Structure 1
Amino acid sequence: MTRLAEQTRTLFPGLALAVLVAMAAQFLSEHYGAPAMLMAILLGIALQFLSEEPRSAPGIGFASRTLLRIGVALLGVRISVGMVQELGLGLFALIVGGVFATIGASLAFAWATGRDRLFAFLSGGAVAICGASAAMAIASVLPRREEGERDLIFTVVSVTMLSTLAMIAYPILAAKLGYDARQTGVFLGGTIHDVAQVVGAGYSVSEETGDIATLVKLIRVTMLAPIVLVAALVMRRRAPVGAARPPLVPGFVLGFLTLAALNSMQLLPGWSIEALSAVSRWALLTAIAAVGMKTSLKKLLDVGGRAIALLTAQTAFLALFLGLGMALIG
């Protein structure tokens, strides 16, 4: 008990600051319509000096790592096998194929341009799966390196901004292409990065489109666990001899899969799903605020224009892949 109390005293100042930043970001999101994740990052970066303060640094570090894993694990309550049956095998295969194709294309782009493959995988996974949440989950299993947190923040900021632009532009594009409500829902859910922007875009068209878009988006979220698992296995095999290896299966991935299985078997009551979803959202929002507090704006600007071009190319590739796939399926 003494050790627990001491650890609580050590972590509380920084953790409380990260929670306050997350609350401020949520307030700005609700009152001004700005994406909460983006607000949390920007507010966090403005308070970067706090991560260098000995009293707050441990709690900020705890929020950026442990809360992140808790938030990702709890995303599993939103996933069930019934989603696949509801959508159909052909569209399910197209959505899953889009995830793998986008990540593969990202690695190919990096190889062709001589860019960092770890950054390409991080950004490609964020674009392909679920934006900021995927970026944070993937970053947690990548090798620790000096520019790791800078790349994570840059990716989160970029995919959030691109997702916001897509939320506005893609419903207009779908109408120009002559998509009906179902096709529009599949396109929006299969191409927009963040869940919140998918919901916003889908329900701005119609209730049917919003329901389908949300369903498709959650199927993409399902791919988070296997992608992170494969990444963890690859990083484990490539770890230098004698170096500390990451666990064979990260604990938060096991948590994600366990909750998804329980939800698929309808063993989770509705109130618990809503409660755990809310905890997941707040944990991820607090974690990204903490990551922002650990990021220097100067280092963030060092990433360069090529990284922005890479993320834009990944976004365009996913939209093109899904559009062509829908045309072929009919």
Structure 2
Amino acid sequence: MTNSEQSGHSPAAISAPQRVLGWIDTNRSGIALATTVALASSFLAEHYGAPAMLFALLIGMAFNFMNDTPRAASGIAFCSRDLLRLGVALLGLRLTFADVSQLGITPIIGVAVMLVLTMIGGVIFARLFGRTTAFGLLTGGSVAICGASAAMAIAAVLPKKYLQEEDVLLTVVGVTAMSTIAMILYPMLFGWLGLADVESGYMIGATIHDVAQVVGAGYSVSDTAGDIATFTKLLRVALLPVVLLVVAVTFRKEAGGTAGLPWFVIAFIILMAVRNFVPLPEGLLNFINDASRFLLVVAISALGVKTSLKKLFAPGVKGLVLIAIDTLFLLVQAIIFAHIFLL
């Protein structure tokens, strides 16, 4: 008879608090680092007028060596993944139908059209580079939808015989590198083009790959740009199940996993509906908005800590050329679209 049986308690009842304490002990160092960077970034932003998100990314990158520390790595991953998704979900309470109506139906259709064209372009460019159609769908889809997450999802659907593990790794590294560069450069580019906050937010959401970088770039312009950028980005993410289905049918294979929407996208939609149909106290909305924004700064701080420029460019310049072309192709589409419909 075990000690737990003698005491009348099940092992699960005893281990649950221990698991919680173990989780806290495992993650606290990384969470503390990301939170400290976020607080410092917020302080600098208030006193020097620069975007907190940009400060968070740059300061976080200075602590990249901490990501190789076992006690910090787990907490950093939690902040950059789970806190980011929670912060994005809570943004649903910021967005009203009036905000969305500023875009109109044409830009929303534009998101879908640019997604399709980018995936087609990805295949064409891959073939020109002597690569397979599957690799073109992988790279084009990751650029068109949501970066590394889309790359992993599409790789799960594609038959293994068409892709090597190195192809997936290259795509994840390349699209992350391009997205990080875009987060820094695109806000300046769209400002130089004379776009207002709403238009800049739309362009950021329509062109940058990963959700984290979209949030960082959008809110580095303004709150309005950040809200619109997040909404536009989630439109692209919402199309991921459709893309997975098309890829699966194309290769006559079943999807290797669920093709449902990510939980934070569903939560964002639900909270947006609550915001527009349920009267909520202004104080509560302000508190949740502030909490959401700080969670995003913490997440961007953690993303900065995880960002190693050396590792991003480890595959070499040639390995990034194809993904860079896909990225530029999407950007050119968006600029042409903006010139015709937004300016």
Query: Shared topology, TM-score over 0.5?
Result: yes
Q: Deviations over 1:94-122 (max 9, x none)?
A: 11022122222322332221175444334
> Shift of residue 153 of structure 1?
3.8
Question: 1-side partners of 2:151 and 2:41: how far apart?
Answer: 22
Question: More displaced, 64-73 or 34-43?
Answer: 34-43
Q: Which residue of 1 aligns with 2:231?
A: 222
Q: Which residue of 2 aligns with 1:170?
A: 193
Q: Give the alignment of 1:67-82 within 5 angstroms.
A: 67-82=83-98
> Shift of residue 242 of structure 1?
11
> Shift of residue 317 of structure 1?
1.6
Give the TM-score normalised by structure 1: 0.71
Question: 1-side partners of 2:201 and 2:303: how far apart?
Answer: 27
Q: Structure 1 241/316 Cα, relative in aligned 2: closer, same or farther at 3 Å? A: closer
Q: Which residue of 1 aligns with 2:165?
A: none
Q: Does residue 1:311 correspond to 2:327, yes or no?
A: yes
Q: Which residue of 2 aligns with 1:296?
A: 308
Give the TM-score normalised by structure 2: 0.69
Question: 2-side partners of 1:26 and 1:150: how far apart?
Answer: 29
The answer (yes or no) to whether the contact 1:45–1:292 under 8 Å persists in 2 is: yes
Question: 1-side partners of 2:84 and 2:193: how far apart?
Answer: 30
* Residue correspondences, number: 290
Q: Give the alignment of 1:179-198 within 5 angstroms.
A: 187-193=199-205, 194-196=217-219, 198=221
Question: 2-side partners of 1:304 and 1:141: how far apart?
Answer: 20
Question: 2-side partners of 1:322 and 1:140: how far apart?
Answer: 30
The answer (yes or no) to whether the contact 1:122–1:135 under 8 Å persists in 2 is: yes
Secondary structure of 2:332 counterpart: helix
Root-mean-square deviation over aligned CA pairs: 3.6
Q: Deviations over 1:69-99 (max 9, x none)?
A: 1112112112233445x54xxx612110221
The answer (yes or no) to whether the contact 2:87–2:295 under 8 Å persists in 1 is: yes
> Shift of residue 305 of structure 1?
4.6
> Shift of residue 148 of structure 1?
6.3
The answer (yes or no) to whether the contact 1:229–1:253 under 8 Å persists in 2 is: yes
Q: Which residue of 2 aligns with 1:211?
A: none
Q: Which runs of 5+ in 2 are unaligned?
A: 1-16, 127-134, 157-167, 206-216
Q: Which residue of 1 aligns with 2:270?
A: 258
Q: Give the alignment of 1:56-75 within 5 angstroms.
A: 56-75=72-91
Q: Does residue 1:269 correspond to 2:278, yes or no?
A: no
Q: Which residue of 1 aligns with 2:110?
A: 98
Q: Structure 1 279/241 Cα, relative in aligned 2: closer, same or farther at 3 Å? A: farther
Question: 1-side partners of 2:252 and 2:27: how far apart?
Answer: 32
The answer (yes or no) to whether the contact 2:37–2:59 under 8 Å persists in 1 is: yes
Q: Which residue of 2 aligns with 1:121?
A: 141
Larger Rg: 2
Q: Give the alignment of 1:43-62 within 5 angstroms.
A: 43-62=59-78
Q: Which residue of 1 aligns with 2:257?
A: 245
Q: Which runs of 5+ in 1 are unaligned?
A: 126-133, 175-183, 201-213
Secondary structure of 1:101 counterpart: helix
Question: 2-side partners of 1:284 and 1:120: how far apart?
Answer: 27
User: Which residue identity is paired with 2:143?
Assistant: S
The sequence identity of aligned pairs, in percent, is: 28
User: Which residue identity is paired with 2:41?
Assistant: A
The answer (yes or no) to whether the contact 1:187–1:323 under 8 Å persists in 2 is: no
Question: More displaced, 229-238 or 106-115?
Answer: 229-238
